Amino acid sequence: MSSNLATLTAGLTPGQLLALQNENHDVEVYTCAAVFSALAILAVTMRVTSRHMKKVAFGVDDVLILFAMVLAFLFFDTDIVAVNDPGANKSFDI
C-alpha cells in the first residue's frame, strides 16, 4: 500500500501533498445527508399515508419507524457537525 502511495505522490510538491491531506469532503457529506433525509421522509410519509388511507391503526412498528427516522436525522446532523469541526479530521496517538 505504501509503495502505491509513494508512486502516486512522487511528483507532487509539499504544498500539493498538504492540499491532498486536507481535502475537504463537505459537499459530499451535505449531499448524502440531504438525499438520505429526503428518502427517509418520503418512505415514512408514504407509510403513514397508506396507514391513514386504509384506516389501519398505528402500531408499535410505526412508532419505531418514526423514532428511527429521528435517530437518522441526528446521525446526519452529527456528520455535518463533524465536517465543520476543524479538529474532527485529526488523528491522535495514545
**pLDDT given at position 42:** 94
Q: Which residues in the chain come in under a pLDDT of 50?
A: 1
Q: Which residue has the cell 502511495?
A: 5
Answer yes or no: are the C-beta atoms of 63 and 20 closer than 8 Å: no
Sequence-distant (6+) residues with CB within 8 A of 9 are 17, 20
- Residue ranges of domains in the chain: 24-83
Q: What angle do CA 24, 40, 37 make, to 5 degrees?
A: 25
Cα dihedral: 60, 62, 68, 71 (round 10): -100
